[in-house]
A and B are shown apart, each in its own frame.
Chain A
Amino acid sequence: AQSVTQLGSHVSVSEGALVLLRCNYSSSVPPYLFWYVQYPNQGLQLLLKYTTGATLVKGINGFEAEFKKSETSFHLTKPSAHMSDAAEYFCAVSFSNDYKLSFGAGTTVTVRA
């Protein structure tokens, strides 16, 4: 069975600083990988996804993630944090395009002025 581990349940960054959220997965087959963002009292919104092809994936709002098969990782980064990036972020994985996403526990990002 697949699993997703997000390292750090809470990350605090200064405005303008690098945002780095870590995600590792366990799988014996190539995964599809996703990052979703959840703003307070809202549903989840897709930030970016990796299915096949280029391992560096760019998403919305300046976020990007890199799939590293050797490290079974899919870390999310943004070079310069903005106050509007304060939210909860979820890493998710699925296999063979069956859309049964397995989610990590989530990482809450706060941005300090």
Chain B
Amino acid sequence: DAEITQSPRHKITETGRQVTLACHQTWNHNNMFWYRQDLGHGLRLIHYSYGVQDTNKGEVSDGYSVSRSNTEDLPLTLESAASSQTSVYFCASGAYGTGELFFGEGSRLTVL
């Protein structure tokens, strides 16, 4: 069955370190998204991509970057982790025409 997987599921890091969260989907979807989930804020869009070599900033993109070298993967990089980036991160993908997004199970990141 097609799926979307995130790794690692849990990570603890220190302030200033670079962190990369992986997202891999086998739906063959063109659209991929990264959200962060914080209490009281719901999910906020960090970055998104509509296809290979396409990346766009969302509403909370500062301190994050993404790259899209193939259809299946959209890794999220925190260049220099900050305590404010402690959160649960969700990757999602979707196909054109349906409006529906499929979500991974999330990556819980703690920055000490």
Contacts and interface: CB of A to CB of B under 8 A. Distances in A.
Interface residues of B, number: 23
Contacts, number: 58
Interface in A50-76: 51
Contacts of A106: 42
A4 B41 CA distance: 11
Nearest to A4: B42
Contacts of A6: 42
Q: Determine the interface band of chain A, counting residues with CB < 8 A from chain B.
A: 20 to 34
Interface of A: 4, 6, 9, 32, 34, 36, 41-46, 49, 51, 90, 94, 97, 99-106
Interface of B: 31, 33, 35, 40-45, 48, 58, 90, 92, 94, 96-97, 99-101, 103-106
